[in-house]
């Protein structure tokens, strides 16, 4: 399956960093996918336990709530790398050259600012649930079977830190494109130009796709 917006690669330091980070992001995203699979297995276990042994999984709901942050956060940088977080590109799609890179730089910078603040905020949220002196280090626990919540809460600032790294790389990419006035910079998701789309269309006349 093709990505919505392609990310170009070359041998520059930026591109190498981009690909290294991408490998990490992919592993995290796969973790998130495995957590979805885990949800499924959990349900099978709960239902199976109830029907076969009259022993349902205690705290089934609590365990689901523990798994959800894995699913929701771990792939966030992976998705940002490929330009998968949706946006309205009617306006930005019409821009070209330096104006485009400047616009991308500004919105990416705003997102980086936001995410740095959210790393702070979500870390504070984690800290309130964590106490080194308490049993299981727990100062906040789940409703039914009293699971400690701090590991799940820690996932948010961790994933957001990786996203901040990704955003910093993209800022570098857009900044470089602006300064050098590049047409096809590496390490950033590109908005497809009409010409590229026409070319891609030509490749697809057969309609064969899988």
Partner 1 sequence: MEPVDIGIAVSLGLLVMVVLGMRVAFAAALAGLIGLVWIFWSKKGYDPADFGWALSVAVKTAGQVPHSKVASQALSLIPTFILIGYLAYYAGLTRALFEAAKRWLGWVPGGMAVSTVFATAGFAAVSGASVATAAVFARIAIPEMLKAGYDKRFAAGVVAAGGTLASLIPPSAILVIYAIIVEQDVGKLLLAGFIPGVVSALIYAALIMGLALTIRGFGPPVRGFTWGQRLHALRPALPIVFVVMTIVLFVYNPFGGDAWGTPTEGGAIGAFVVFLMALWHGMRWNQFKDALLETAKLSVMIFTIIWGVLIYVRFLGFADLPGAFSDWITSLEQSPMLTLVMILLAYAVLGMFMDAIGMLLLTLPVVYPAVMALNGGEFVSAADSTFGMSGPMCAIWFGILVVKMAEFCLITPPIGLNCFVVAGVRDDISVQDVFRGVTPFFVADAVTIAVLVAVPGIVLWLPGLA
Partner 2 sequence: AEEWNVSLWGKRRAFTEHVEKLAELVSEKTGGAFTLNISYGGLSQNTENLDGISIGAFEMAQFCAGYHRDKNPSITVLELPFLGISSLDQEREISMALYDHPAVRNDLARWNATLLMPSPLPQYNFVGVGEAPRTLDDYKGMTVRATGGIGAAMEMIGAVPTSMSATEVRQALDSGVVKAVSFAPHAHMSFGTIETGAWWTTNLNPGTVNCPVVVNTDALDALSDEHREALLGSVDEALDHYIDYYNNETMAKWGPALEERAIEQITYSAEALATFQQAAAGPAATAWIGEMNDRGLPAQELYDFVIGMIGQ
- Binding of residue 110 to partner 1 (CB under 8 A): yes
Closest separation in Å from C-beta 137 to partner 2: 10
Cβ density class 4-23: b for 16+ within 10 Å, e for less: eeebeeeeeebbebbeebbe
**Which of 7, 21, 28, 57 forms a contact with partner 2 (CB under 8 A)?**
57
**Which of 132, 135, 201, 210 forms a contact with partner 2 (CB under 8 A)?**
135
Binding mask 74-113 for partner 2 (x = CB under 8 A): ----------------------------------------
- Binding of residue 55 to partner 2 (CB under 8 A): yes
Question: Which of partner 1, partner 2, none has residue 170 at its interface (CB below 5 to 8 Å by kind)?
Answer: none
User: Would you say 157 or 173 has its CB closer to partner 2?
Assistant: 157
Closest separation in Å from C-beta 54 to partner 1: 13
Interface stretch with partner 2, choices 80-88, 131-139, 161-169, 196-204 (CB under 8 A): 131-139
- 209: Cβ–Cβ under 8 A, 6 or more apart, which residues? none
Longest dimension (CA), the chain: 68
* Cα dihedral 168/170/172/173 (nearest 10): 170
- Binding of residue 88 to partner 1 (CB under 8 A): yes
How far is 182 from 8, CA to CA, in rounded Å?
A: 12
């Amino acid at each position: 399956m093709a990505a919505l917006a392609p990310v170009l690669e070359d041998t520059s330091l930026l591109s190498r960093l981009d690909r290294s980070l991408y490998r990490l992001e992919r592993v995290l995203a796969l973790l998130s996918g495995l957590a979805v699979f885990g949800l499924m297995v959990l349900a099978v276990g709960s239902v199976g336990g109830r029907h076969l042994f009259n022993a349902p999984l205690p705290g089934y709901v609590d365990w689901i709530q523990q798994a959800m942050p894995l699913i929701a956060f771990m792939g966030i940088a992976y998705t940002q790398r490929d330009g998968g977080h949706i946006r309205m590109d009617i306006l930005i799609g019409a821009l070209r050259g330096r104006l485009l890179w400047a616009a991308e730089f500004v919105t990416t910078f705003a997102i980086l600012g936001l995410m740095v603040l959210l790393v702070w905020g979500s870390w504070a949220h984690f800290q309130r649930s964590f106490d080194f002196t308490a049993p299981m280090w727990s100062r906040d626990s789940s409703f039914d079977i009293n699971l400690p919540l701090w590991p799940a809460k820690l996932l948010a600032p961790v994933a957001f830190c990786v996203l901040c790294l990704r955003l910093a790389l993209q800022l570098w990419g857009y900044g470089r494109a602006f300064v050098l006035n590049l047409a096809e910079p590496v390490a950033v998701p590109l908005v497809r130009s009409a010409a590229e789309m026409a070319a891609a269309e030509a490749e697809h006349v057969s309609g064969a796709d899988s």
